[in-house]
Chains A and B, each alone.
Chain A
Amino acid sequence: MKKIYLDYAATTPLDPEVIKAINLGMKKYFGNPSSIHSFGQEARKVLENSRKIVASYLNSESDEVIFTSGGSESDNLATSGLIEALPKSNYLPHIITSEFEHHAVLDTVHELVKNGQAEATFIKPTTNGLITPESIKTAIKKNTALVSIIYVNNEIGTVQPIREIGKLIEAENKNRPKDQRIYFHTDAVQAVEFFKLDVHYLHVDLLTFTAHKIYGPKGTGVLFVKRGTPIKRQIIGGAQEYRKRAGTENVIGALGLSRALERIIEDKADKRPGRQNKSFPELSETKEARRLQTLRDYLIDEILKKVPRSRLNGDRFRRSPANANISFENAEGESILLNLDLLGIAASSGSACTSGSLLPSHVLLSIGLPPEIAHGSIRFTIGRQTTATDIDYLIEVLPKIVSKVRKMSPFNEN
């Protein structure tokens, strides 16, 4: 049976070039970068070269790049780390975030509130899954210290106007004393490959991403920390990573991450000029982005056409080229997933049954989906190995699966 992987937002297969680099690195660079001997210094060179590649990708300085164990750690460090590093003041710092952040941000903010370390406003996205800069602006208070907004939503793929939000925070900061400024973090885990990550363009102070969503290894991530941004390290020990993250550096992980970025840079170098979409300037018009966008649109159009009572979740236009999230009325998500898996197709679902609780995805609820519809939602995320033939196969089998599942339901209308 042919296997078709449509779950690239969960994780990606390793790029063959990344595997090559890691294999070589594992043999050659075992030294501890903190050691002064040649073994250590060779490993140090590899680590710092990787950092340079990341910095150039972000258009930042090398010392603004902190290697972590992944997206969750970076998100935790950005939120807790910032709040805990703020100068002591008379008021409780205020955090603005959204209802549909990744749990690594959302739960950390809840934790900070619970511990009495901060207060928070959770912005509700629009029904098409967008956060407006105005909604951020109105939420800003005198004690606001951190705004954290996800760049590309991991479930519904909608793209937030990070640059506009960054600019409005910058403008707001001009009227504030330095010790009362607002810092801006974005979780860019799902944005790296297809969206602008230049931190000056985005006007962010903190930015999170991870290697395993871009064909790199699991267990390595990055937090960009703009110079001058207060951060209290969450992993305590040695002086590594500019005293922002202790622990012997994961040299091989950093090498794999930077090699994965280089592969994306190669694709970006291949872009044809003049295709930049003015109304969606964050999108990098690379060959791969265009290819996936075409496949994604085909997938969405065909499924909505062939499956009655189905709907697309998230804005049709401002969404990742890799994401299609579709709800099927009167069909439970996990049942659809199991049936797909039996035919070799891998996807994921927003149903409660896949999360271990009775509540469906907080992202789908935040955009106003009734729980009974959210339970019947499937996320298809495509990537480098996805072909038109794969999508054709999905389009052929999915309508049958949904109709089979619906026939089993007590609400079946036939």
Chain B
Amino acid sequence: MIYSKEVMRHFKSPKNLGEIKKPDGVGTVGNPRCGDVMKLYIQVEVRDNLGKKEEYVKDIKFQTLGCGAAIACSSMTTELVKGKSLTEALKISNKKITAALGELPPAKYHCSILSEEAIKEAIKDYLNKKNAKN
């Protein structure tokens, strides 16, 4: 097998697979022509953090058309992001995703980059919608 145990664990039983019916933000990255498309859905909740209001990723789901690494990266990203504040979520880098998966073959680094882009896109989409409302 070309992948680490952790990658295969996520590939076999991906976490947070599916869609959120009424998401607060959606990020779609990649292109079917290149073989990989990732779509992340987030639901955001505002919590009171010691008197300061902060936004958290309450729920996250993904749908991915792509290779084993693309699916594992998507799944791992949802795990890393779920329950985090948006500020923390924005700090999740492709390196962090790769490290959490143990390792990725070099040809698959772009999958972790796609995942990082997907979560950033989803948060951006949420913020855009929020700003449009205000």
Which residues of A are in contact with B by a Cβ distance under 8 Å?
330-335, 338, 341-342, 351-354, 356-358, 360, 370-372, 375, 408-412
Contacts and interface: CB of A to CB of B under 8 A. Distances in A.
Contacts of B63: 408-410, 412
Contacts of B70: 332, 353
Contacts of A360: 35
A371 B71 contact: no
Interface centre among B1, B12, B68 (most CB of A within 10 A): B68
Nearest to A357: B107
Interface string B66-91: 11111100000000000000000000
A335 B71 contact: yes
Given A341-B1, A408-B71, A410-B65, A332 B17 contact: no
Nearest to B17: A408
Q: How large is the interface on B (under 10, 10 to 19, 20 to 34, 35 or more residues)?
A: 20 to 34
A334 B70 CA distance: 10
B28 interface: yes
A335 B68 contact: yes
Contacts, number: 73
A410 B68 contact: no
21 contacts: A334-B67, A334-B68, A335-B68, A338-B3, A338-B8, A338-B68, A353-B35, A353-B67, A353-B108, A358-B110, A370-B33, A371-B33, A371-B35, A408-B14, A409-B37, A409-B63, A409-B64, A410-B28, A410-B39, A410-B63, A410-B64
A354 B108 CA distance: 10
Contacts of A351: 35, 67
A369 to B, nearest CB: 11
Given A338-B11, A342-B12, A356-B107, A408 B65 contact: yes
Interface in B19-65: 28, 32-39, 63-65
